[in-house]
Structure 1
Amino acid sequence: MYIEYINGGVCAPKGFQASGVHCGIRRNKTKKDLALIVSDVMCNAAAIYTTNKVKGAPITVTQHNIQDGRAKAVICNSGNANTCAPNGIEIAKQTCGLLAKELGIKPEDIIISSTGVIGMPLSIEPFETGIPKLVKKLSYEGSDMAAHGIMTTDTLKKECAVSVVIGNKVCHIGGIAKGSGMIHPNMATMLCYLTTDVEITPEMLKKALLRDVADTFNQVSVDGDTSTNDTVAIMANGLAGNTPIDSEGEDFDEFCKALNYVTAVLAKAIAKDGEGATKLLECIVSGAPDKQTARVISKSVITSSLFKSAMFGEDANWGRALCAIGYADAQFDVTKVDIVLSSSKGNVEVCKGAGYNFFSEEEASQILGESEIKILVSLNQGDEKARAWGCDLTYNYVKINGNYRT
């Protein structure tokens, strides 16, 4: 299989335009706070949402809108989550109505999201003034504008696209995402919008998403908090002209592999851009008795506040990693566990058979001084593996979230 990274984000697939503007929801007028993605033709669509019992109003509206597996546009605002807000569902519906009128489509053909502060009032006025500007700025090169329009505390845009041959047709998958804090998903995570020109049914799109997020977005954690607005949505307009994918098989597998390339890049980018982070942590668990055990253990390590703090301090305190492995909700023999800390500066085995293994603290400190750290955990009791991404826990995380609203 040949997959090539390409430019263009959500506009890389044929027939997709995007835009982003400042409409007045965020106080900083230099920050875009409204984003739009539109397909030239109707798309098959699927989405996965947060498992938090408190859900943003846009999720309720989107679930209703795409229950038929169809959509043509995505609109998202940043700066206000529209969660537990007065008239939240009404505002979301009105927003869809305003956009539908501008685009000449049905309100039910729109996926809508919001991200930002929870529990604050949201007015329809910014949407009334912003949506006409948003539609006017639509461009086949507009992914960058949309990627910036969905950012909150993110410091970097998150965008990716690939091309892949499916059924002798060159196809494309693109995506943008946002996420920096309140990241500990149990479905997908944060907000992510994916586009593709592959012809694939809504049922197979949903199956592909569910299969994918278990090893990508569900394996990311910044701070242990699962957001109220988490959504991953995908639209497929079929303009690549491939034989329709309506069942499992070689074409579906190729699509899933290409999708994974995009989502893994975006998941890693979210972890790297964690609020206040200075280091990306990637825990790779191998030799596991089953896939789920590997997933649970890898995520347990990168979620540990104590271990995250040690990584910030460049302290090879491997006992904290072993502790997190030990309380992971999985069945395995902990006495066989080995741990290696790794970076571009080299590798150091700090734990052998769940016990101390002599190593140079000076060498370990140099390894942990890099901005990307890998924690390699060998369970030595099977052939399955998994990975998870997180970041260090810094003083700035508390500073950012201590005055997030004010």
Structure 2
Amino acid sequence: MKPLKIGLAGLGTVGVGVIRLLRENADAITARAGRPIEVVAITARDRNRDRGVDLSAMRWHDNAVSVANDPDIDIAVELIGGSEGSARDMVEAALSRGTPVVTANKALVAIHGNALNSIAIENNTVLMFEAAVAGGVPAIKLVREGLAADHLQSVGGILNGTCNYILTEMRATGRDFSDVLSEAQQKGYAEAEPSTDVDGWDTAHKLAILAGLAFSPLSFDTMPVHGIRDVTAIDLKFADELRYRIKLLGLARRGKNGEVEAWVRPCMVPASAPIAVVNGVFNAVTTQGDFSGPMTISGRGAGEGPTASAVVADLIDLARGASLPLWGTDTSPAPKSCVSLDTIESAFYLRVNVDDRSGVMAELTSVLRDHDVSVHFVSQHDAPENKAYLALVTHRVSEKSIRAASAALSELTSVRGAPLVLKIEDFQ
């Protein structure tokens, strides 16, 4: 059997994992692909670095575009990362010459998916990207293939293991964000520069891909994105008392007239929800379909093994002749802007740090009343220096009203710092 020949750019954790997996599971992969799969051409920034695997039989190229243009390869695999530069150049070069591409690059697909899809269609080839969302969790296959016949109403979930680990540890230990983040960096769960993860952008890239598959490609810069830096240990304690969990969610919903609501932010979710028990570095993808109903799948969302497994799964599909278009259709629709959240209604959690003295609650309720915010429940915990933490759960109210009320509360002399507002997401 003639082997399927791979050109691979990027020999970091995932790239080395792909080579290891292809070698260690060669018999099973050959049986499932119908032919052997082997890496024949490679490139990376440092040619001389010891990566713990034998690369001597592979042709070394000086850059990623050279790998893409190698006449001996059948598929180009891009594992460099980033939405611009050599990663984008390689993928565009390969697709332009009709070579299928496999990537784990969520930023590239989220931001340039439409343009890449057009190149692929023009050159009768495909871009595969199962590893771009949730690592080894088959999120792309679920939405693009498993639920292809259904009319989805929502898609999203816990899409970043770093944030999920931090929130899990904060809840378990009572420590604050900065302390747990430092520990996560020491353990290798968080990058030295963690903003892409903790500020929500990694989740946003993945959500944009899922929303593009389920509904329509999105104009990425119109998506509201907020990370977890403002969540404190006291918020997780209040959440437990209220029988909720705090999770960083990326969620997209089908709106009226084909509009799409999509956002990334920390939310309160009921402790009884399937997604609430997804802890540590695990990811979870949840969908709601007219026929399929609610569905949640979870697993490790990053790392050598899970991500390499997803990359090789795409290679096996291509070996078997898969030819799915990027967005699941033979067209490349123009990206849509995400709808404004101002008019969307929800219950909210509102945490306020206040002076612990008489009359403060009356001041707060007066401000909330002026902004048409009705309070369902109030809880209090003492804080140092004659201060108190107040947690208020509202009835359903518009996002615009709760944000205006929060801004007005922060101007009161009895309020210390900006209140924290978290959406209560019941997945209804």
User: What TM-score does the superposition give when structure 1 sets the normalisation length?
Assistant: 0.29
Which has the higher Rg, Structure 1 or Structure 2? 2
More helix by share: 2
User: What TM-score does the superposition give when structure 2 sets the normalisation length?
Assistant: 0.28
More strand by share: 1
